[in-house]
Amino acid sequence: MRARYPAAAREPAAEDLGQLVGNGDVQQKALSMVIAGLRIYLGRMRPEDILVPSREGICCKPGGFHIDPTRSVAKALITHGHSDHARAGHGAVLATQETLDIMRLRYGENFAGSTQAVRYGETLVLDGARVTFHPAGHVLGSAQISVECKGFRVVASGDYKNVPDPTCTPFELVPCDVFITEATFGLPVFRHPDPAHEIAKLLRSVALFPDRAHLVGAYGFGKAQRVIALLRAAGYGEPVYLHGAIETITRYYAERGIDLGPLELVRGTDKAKLGGKIIICPPGSMGDLWSRRFPDPVAAFASGWMRVRARARQRGVTLPLVLSDHADWDGLAQTITATGAEEVWVTHGQEDALVHWCKSRGLRARPLDIVGYGVEEEHEAPAEDEA
Ligand SMILES: [Zn+2]
Ligand SMILES: [Zn+2]
């Protein structure tokens, strides 16, 4: 495969080196042979020489690390804090400061043997690989990880979206040879509407039913905070009420400077008095005991899956809000095209459709079957919904 990103001293001219070490015929000949061998080797550089799927996840042999490993490894580079990507129990963990903080909040102080915070745009040399973290626009602290060896670049994008989100740094396009993409919403039917439009639906309902509590199911890390930030952007100034399970990470977002306005806890308040209020809770809590005693609650759910009406009905959702932290079909296609990658690896989700689309565009593409991705809460497709 052609490498398009020049690395230092790639393909040196035999003549130049010959002059450096002396002009003897024998030396020249020997050197030419070495360089010819090197060129053959470089010419044969394959993506799998840089990153390869393994039992533990995506492995970088030249760099001696794994990306988002699903089992314990010596050195893990983590794209973001969602639990299918960020697990406790690795030796060393390299991630953005926010991802490390979120892992600490979820797993406790001793979630890894050691940690190293990496800034967006900072390049690290890890043995034979150059590694850079770039914003993924998915949740606070989320990163794509670019890995370069010998001028060949593979980008593992983790989860991403290419639409604005007031709670995280925007997605950055990174040109590459191989792009590893998610496909959570990798079917043409998934086209996410404008988030502001969905939030306006919620606010209209609150205005229309001022005596009813509005329970908004939203995953606790990322979605919940984005819903609140979007409400603020739409001019909603009332306190937003939080289920206890969402409190810690929401407070962390506020500490990191995300403007979430006034927040209150449901715990300790009289639920009967929350008519006309917006309450953010984990989706799983909406059908359980906790949801009782709110005045005539309206059940809303913020998820990309709300595009599928049957899912909303199954869950008893009367106010579906199509709001996703993953790229939709157009977002995936646009991003893949814009990276200029000639080869695409597809993870967790609708792999077949996206692989087919890539091939129809003349790209090499393959599904990456990594067990353990996309099965957690944030992928918005809980197992019971698959039945
Ligand atoms: Zn995620
Ligand atoms: Zn994921």
- Here the CATH number for the domain that contains residue 173 is 3.60.15.10
CA distances in angstroms from 304 to 21, 236, 372, listed in the order given: 62, 23, 20
Q: What is the pLDDT of residue 34?
A: 62
317 lies in the same domain as 329: no
Q: What is the pLDDT of residue 349?
A: 81
Average pLDDT, integer, range 14-37: 53
- Which letter does DSSP use for residue 239 in this model? P
Average pLDDT, integer, range 173-177: 98
Placement of tokens 């953010």 in the chain: 280
**CATH number where 302 lies:** 3.40.50
Give distance in angstroms: CA of 161 to centre of ligand 1.
10
199 lies in the same domain as 111: no
218 lies in the same domain as 185: no
Q: Which amino acid is at 52?
A: V
Average pLDDT, integer, range 142-166: 96
Ligand showing the shortest atom-to-Cα distance for residue 82:
1
Q: Give helix then strand counts, H and E, for the chain.
A: 10, 19
Q: What is the pLDDT of residue 369?
A: 75
Question: Which residue intervals of the chain are DSSP H helices?
Answer: 14-21, 25-43, 97-107, 195-208, 223-233, 244-255, 309-314, 329-339, 351-360, 383-386
Give distance in angstroms: CA of 367 to centre of ligand 2.
15
Give distance in angstroms: CA of 366 to centre of ligand 1.
21
Give distance in angstroms: CA of 288 to centre of ligand 2.
26
pLDDT tier for residue 200 given thresholds of 50, 70 and 90: very high
Q: What is the pLDDT of residue 27?
A: 67
Give distance in angstroms: CA of 45 to centre of ligand 1.
31
CA atoms of 153 and 178, how far apart (whole Å): 7
CA atoms of 186 and 381, how far apart (whole Å): 13
Give distance in angstroms: CA of 215 to centre of ligand 2.
25
Give distance in angstroms: CA of 341 to centre of ligand 1.
22
Boundaries of domain holding 203? 195-321
Question: Which residue intervals of 127-186 are DSSP H helices?
Answer: none
Residues 6+ apart with CB under 8 A from 97: 117, 119, 141
Ligand showing the shortest atom-to-Cα distance for residue 183:
2
Give distance in angstroms: CA of 25 to centre of ligand 1.
59
Q: What angle do CA 355, 360, 364 make, to 5 degrees?
A: 55
Give distance in angstroms: CA of 386 to centre of ligand 1.
19
Give distance in angstroms: CA of 28 to centre of ligand 1.
54
133 lies in the same domain as 56: yes
Upper half-sphere CA count for residue 83 (Cβ side, 13 Å): 11
Which of 292, 321, 350 is the endpoint of a domain?
Answer: 321
Give distance in angstroms: CA of 222 to centre of ligand 1.
9
Give distance in angstroms: CA of 301 to centre of ligand 1.
18
340 lies in the same domain as 205: no
Ligand showing the shortest atom-to-Cα distance for residue 347:
2
Nearest to 77 by CA among 49, 100, 102: 100
In a domain, 340, yes or no: yes
Is residue 16 over pLDDT 90?
A: no
Which of 298, 321, 344 is the endpoint of a domain?
Answer: 321
144 lies in the same domain as 231: no
278 lies in the same domain as 340: no
Question: What total number of domains does the chain contain?
Answer: 2
User: Tokens at residue 138, please?
Assistant: 């998915």
Strands 298-302 and 214-217: parallel
CB atoms within 10 A of CB 191: 13
Ligand showing the shortest atom-to-Cα distance for residue 219:
1
177 lies in the same domain as 71: yes
In a domain, 156, yes or no: yes
Q: What is the pLDDT of residue 55?
A: 85
310 lies in the same domain as 337: no
Are 93 and 103 within 8 A, CB to CB?
A: yes
Give distance in angstroms: CA of 257 to centre of ligand 2.
25
To the nearest whole percent, how much of the chain has pLDDT over 90?
A: 78
Q: What is the pLDDT of residue 222?
A: 97
107 lies in the same domain as 129: yes
In a domain, 26, yes or no: no
Burial (CB < 10 A; 0-12, 13-18, 19+), residue 44, is exposed
- pTM equals 0.86
Average pLDDT, integer, range 255-270: 97
Ligand showing the shortest atom-to-Cα distance for residue 156:
2
